[in-house]
Amino acid sequence: MFDFETLRIIWWAILIFLVCGFAVMDGFDLGIGMLLPFLGKTDAERRVMLNTIGPTWEGNQTWLVTLGGISFGAWSLVYATLFSGAYTGMLALLFGLFLRPVGFDYRSKLPNPRWRSAWDWALFAGGLVPAVVLSLAAGNVIIGLPFQLDNELRSSFSGGFWDLFQPFALLCVVVGLSLLCLHGAVFLHWRTEAALAERARRVIVYSALMFVVSFSVAGIWIAFSLDGYRITSAIDTRIITPLLSKTVVKANGLWMNNYSTYPWLMLSPTFAIIGAGLVVFLSAKRHTGLAFISSSLVVVCVILTAAGSMFPFMIPSSSSPVSSLTVWDASASLYTMKLLFFATVLLMPIVMAYTVWVYRILRGKVTLADIEKNQHVLY
Amino acid sequence: MIANEVVELSRLQFALTALYHFLFVPLTLGLSFLLAIMESVYVMSNKPIYKDMTRFWGKLFGINFAMGVTTGITLEFQFGTNWAYYSHYVGDIFGPLLAVEGMMAFFLESTFVGLFFFGWDKLSKLQHLIVTWLLALGTSLSALWILIANGWMQHPVGAEFNYDTMRMELTSIADVFFNPIAQVKFVHTVAAGYVTGSMFVLGISAYYLLNNRDVAFARRSFRIAAGFGLASVLSVIVLGDESGYTVGDVQRAKLAVIEAEWETEEAPASFTLFGFPNEATMTTDYAVKVPYLMGLIATRSIDTKVDGIKEIHARKLRRIKSGMIAYANEQVLRQDKTNLTAKALFEQHKDDLGHGLLLKKYTDNVVDATPEQIAMAVHDSIPKVAPMFWSFRGMVLSGFMMLFIFTAAFYYNAKRTAHKQRWLLRLAFYGIPLPWIASELGWVVAEYGRQPWTIANILPTHLSVSSVEPGQLYLSLAGFFVFYTVLLVIEVFLMLKYVRLGPSSLHTGRYHFEIEEVNHV
């Protein structure tokens, strides 16, 4: 039904779709985690914040878990190289994620204020650390990771944990954190009321501003002074290109190549910036639900901006460009990709359908009165 | 060459984190079904006490579930962080199984677990019951896919090596799904989870009955756990994992090692009930043997032989030598695909390619291995006897002790006098650790027993690791140690606190501590 070329482009799109799904769905959970100690002035307010996402955050995080599984299945070399290449970073991400399930479930099981405050900070770290590591990883993937593949396709790395903290990657962290704080604050503004909602609205304004500035700077940086990559040899897209058989150049501004070939790609960065303005406008007008749709759009456009500029590269290698992993050489076999394609097309709509159903059941604002009434039941 | 230190540290980290994860998984599997059963009784009988039961055992389920989720992500991460070459080499088969597990099972359980806790007032009775069943279904489906993946590691079928891409590639998903090893593993492990949940509810209910508190609540919980537990423990024992041990080389080696069967015996083989296996002399000291039993357990027949260790060693030697030829010709083919002689030889020996790779631990070139190195590879080609011998016996003993407890509980339940049998209640309470002991030992038997392979006969453990530095591994091990210790202390503390509180923690005003408070006032 599909040829290998089309199938791999579809699989690249599915991967991007899952990244977007994770960033939109779990992005506001991470943002709320980061905002928890600052926006919630009292224990009850913090409980309001936690319970806006309490019943659903776990399903949202599953987007990340599934993203891991899908990349393992469809792009195993990408999964293996990223996870082992950024070993210490990935473990920091993991340890950050540890704090969330236990944080949500255990925090309000005891009334002791010190216990609760400790868990609030744990949940803060559980939001901040994953957000930082993931943005840092995204930045480093754009820069290229220092890895090379040997003849048996075993990858080895030069550079350790602290090498991840490059200036451009740090700028990506600023983009990521402001974006997720924005997304989280928009969700809070939508699902809470009174003083808490008002505080969330102020966060929206500042984080939107910060996002627009840092995102624009990152764009200019990529266009003018960051090395991009390009395949220079002919590629037979019908087969898996033997790795190490292609030639790749690395040079300033190459990440803009796709944008000059397909100018319509500029729509995604443009919409990201317009969308951020729209979020501020809609929040000021108290169209909180629409504001959430807009901030989701911003999140998606940011990811598409990066993905669009990098295609067909998945993880470029800065130290050995020929080892770079691309759509044409890092995929699973045709048979596996077909099977997994049918599984995904069958299962993901079901997942999304029941997720919508669950959100419908739990719709409406969480209030201080709810917390008071259900204090032994809620998080 | 790959540093041995990296391999050993990676193995240690995987074993510790997997064993730790497995402290929580079986309870999640079992409790979720018990919750669904209790809630079904509530919906059918309309008695509020069954709703309280679902909610109270649900609270304990939640404390445990959070840890299961926390420690489960670790495992998915670790294939990439610590076993990158493995992920590349078998990602084409192993990866899709994890992907489907995520889409089919993880989403189901993690989406509905929130509604289970917070949906009581927002859903109709029937809707909530469906949510609880979906949660239970999700946990068992997750076990299904991960055990199919694990079954493939034990007995890889439906895949072929491709020297262009330097990895195994899937050829038949049906073979992988209906892998006989995967099927027994699934039933055995899931039933072991149901036993764990039942033992947990049975033991804690016994504790309430011994203290004569919340008796109506505890008796009903005890009854459900006894019934479900007896059925489950029978499934675990009857559908024991060892029934799959006759399929494939690695499984047969496991069997020989478990049994410490040094020499091949005439069928039907006897079972060594007790003894001290001696690796140096290749004998078992003070062995107490039961005739026929091993043949019956392992082969389900009286005329099939069970291979002895010495015979397996001889076979391994042949396969390693053949693997050297496969490896040499694979190297030629990687350079020149048109070489027909190399192709023919490779095709002839390719099933032993993995055995050739075993030599990589001793020499990078494989083909230049000395007879001493080959002898070492043969010696290392099956797991050590003592850990397997004892783990297996510990597991089986725990299983039979639980069988006794559940049978007695079921019997006295039927006579409606279980709550008066204090010896039984004490036994049930002190028996709580048994399913955990059995599960952890069972993991050791299955996974240590797979050594020296990650993928049986295909990929040696030694080659599967990532290119990381020992320093990074010490750091991550230290991180796991700190996090897991602190989290375990907190989890056990909360669990004990809520167990002591009992159903009073629901604040319905109907249970022990609340009633007592009223009396005091």
For residue B257, what are the contacts with CB-CB under 8 A and spacing of at least 6? B309, B382, B383, B384, B385, B388, B389, B449
pLDDT score for A151: 85
pLDDT at residue number B275: 85
Average of pLDDT values for B186-199? Answer: 95
Has residue B399 got a pLDDT over 50?
A: yes
Whether the CB-CB separation of B114 and A358 falls below 8 Å is answered with yes
Q: How confident is the model at residue B517 (pLDDT cuts 50, 70, 90)?
A: low
pLDDT for res B242? 61
pLDDT band at A14 (very low <50, low <70, confident <90, very high): very high
Smallest Cα distance from B62 to chain A, Å: 7
Interface test with A, best of B98, B120, B141 (most A CBs within 10 A): B98
Is A244 an 8 Å CB contact of chain B? no
- CA A363 vs. chain centroid, Å, equals 24
- The residue extents of the domains of chain A are 4-373
Report yes or no: A319 at the B interface, CB cutoff 8 Å. Answer: no
Q: Which of A109, A153, A377 sits opposite B88 (nearest CB)?
A: A153
- Put simply, whether B92 touches A (Cβ < 8 Å) is yes
- pLDDT tens, A38-94? 999 999 999 999 999 999 999 999 999 999 999 999 999 999 999 999 999 999 999
* Chain length of chain B: 521
Q: Which of B355, B356, B333 is nearest to B345 (CA)?
A: B333
Structure tokens at B405: 């407890």
**Smallest Cβ distance to B165: which of A240, A351, A362?**
A240
Identify the CA nearest to A234 among candidates A221, A247, A225, A222: A247
Give the gyration radius of chain A's Cα atoms.
21
Determine the distance in angstroms separating the CA of A64 from the nearest CA of chain B, rounded to an integer: 9
pLDDT at B518 exceeding the cut of 70: no
Residue-wise pLDDT tens digits, B418-461 = 889 999 999 999 999 999 999 999 999 999 999 899 999 999 99
Hey, are the CB atoms on B122 and A154 less than 8 Å from each other?
A: no
Report pLDDT digits (tens) over B225-256: 999 999 999 999 887 766 566 667 788 888 88
Task: Give mean pLDDT, residues A282-299.
Answer: 95
Q: State the average pLDDT over residues B121-146.
A: 95
**Greater model confidence, A14 or B507:** A14
Strands B459-460 vs B453-455: parallel, antiparallel or unpaired:
antiparallel
Q: Which amino acid is at B453?
A: W
From chain B, pick out residues whose CB is under 8 angstroms from the CB of A109.
Answer: 63, 494, 498
Number of H helices, E strands in chain B: 21, 6
For chain A, what is the HEC assignment? CCCHHHHHHHHHHHHHHHHHHHHHHHHHHHHHHHHHHHHCCCHHHHHHHHHHHCCCHHHHHHHHHHHHHHHHHHCHHHHHHHHHHCHHHHHHHHHHHHHHHHHHHHHCCCCCHHHHHHHHHHHHHHHHHHHHHHHHHHHHHHHCECEEECCCCCEEECCCHHHHCCHHHHHHHHHHHHHHHHHHHHHHHHHCCHHHHHHHHHHHHHHHHHHHHHHHHHHHHHHHCCEEEEECCCCCCCCCCCCCCCCEEEEECHHHHHHHHCHHHHHHHHHHHHHHHHHHHHHHCCCHHHHHHHHHHHHHHHHHHHHHHHCCEEECECCCHHHCEECCCCCCCHHHHHHHHHHHHHHHHHHHHHHHHHHHHCCCCCCHHHHHHCCCCCC
Lowest mean pLDDT among A151-155, B30-34, B132-136: A151-155
Q: How confident is the model at residue B520 (pLDDT cuts 50, 70, 90)?
A: very low
Other C-beta atoms within 10 Å of B197: how many? 27
Q: CA-to-CA distance for B489 and A212, rounded, in angstroms?
A: 44
Chain segment A334-348, per-residue pLDDT in tens: 999 999 999 999 999
Q: Which residue did the predictor score with more confidence, B258 or A290?
A: A290
pLDDT band at B258 (very low <50, low <70, confident <90, very high): confident
Q: Which of B14, B79, B88, B127 to mutate to test the interface with A (most CBs of A within 10 A)?
A: B88
- Test A332 with B80 for CB contact under 8 angstroms: no
Closest partner residue to A90 (CB to CB) among B70, B77, B93 is B77
Q: Is B163 on the interface with A (CB under 8 A)?
A: no
Query: Angle at the Cα of A26 (from A22 to A28), degrees rounded to 5?
Result: 130
A334 contacts in chain B (CB < 8 Å)? none
ipTM metric: 0.93
A55 upstream amide cis, omega within 30 of 0? no
**Which of A51, A91, A114, A145 would you mutate first to test chain B, the one with the most B CBs within 10 A?**
A91
Is the per-residue pLDDT at A329 higher than 60?
yes
Closest C-alpha to B408, from B421, B394, B392: B421
Question: Predicted confidence band at B521 (pLDDT cuts at 50, 70, 90)?
Answer: very low
- B7 touching A, CB under 8 A? no
Residues from chain A contacting residue B118 (CB–CB below 8 Å): 54-55, 362, 377-378
A347 touches chain B (CB under 8 A): yes
Per residue in A205-256, pLDDT (tens digit) is 999 999 999 999 999 999 999 999 999 988 888 888 788 888 999 999 899 9
Q: Which residues 315-334 of chain B have a CB within 8 Å of chain A?
A: 334
CB B131 within 8 A of CB B123: yes
Contact of A72 with A78, CB cutoff 8 Å: no
Q: Is the Cα dihedral A327, A332, A334, A340 positive or negative? A: negative
Question: What number is the average pLDDT over the span B323-335?
Answer: 90
For the stretch B455-479, pLDDT in tens is 999 999 999 999 999 999 999 999 9
A65-74, A154-163, B128-137: lowest mean pLDDT where? A154-163
Quote the pLDDT of residue B513: 86
What residues 224-283 of chain B have any CB closer than 8 A to a CB of chain A?
A: none
Q: Which of A22, A102, A337 to mutate to test the interface with B (most CBs of B within 10 A)?
A: A102
Chain A residues with beta carbon closer than 8 angstroms to that of B69? 58, 101
Residue B269 has pLDDT above 80, yes or no: no
Q: How far apart are the C-alpha atoms of B31 and B54, rounded to whole Å?
A: 10
Asked if A159 has any chain B CB less than 8 Å from its own CB, the reply is no
Residues 6+ positions from B91 with CB-CB distance below 8 Å: A72, A73, A76, A77, A79, A80, A332, B167
Alpha-carbon distance A331 to A239, whole Å? 10
Asked if the C-beta of A101 comes within 8 angstroms of chain B's C-beta atoms, the answer is yes
Q: If you write DSSP's letter for every residue of B327-396 in order, what string do you get?
A: HHHHHHHHH-TT-HHHHHHHHHHGGGHHHHHGGGGT-TTSTT--HHHHHHHHHTTS--HHHHHHHHHHHH
* Mean pLDDT of the A30-38 span: 96
pLDDT single digits (tens) B43-63: 999 999 999 999 999 999 999
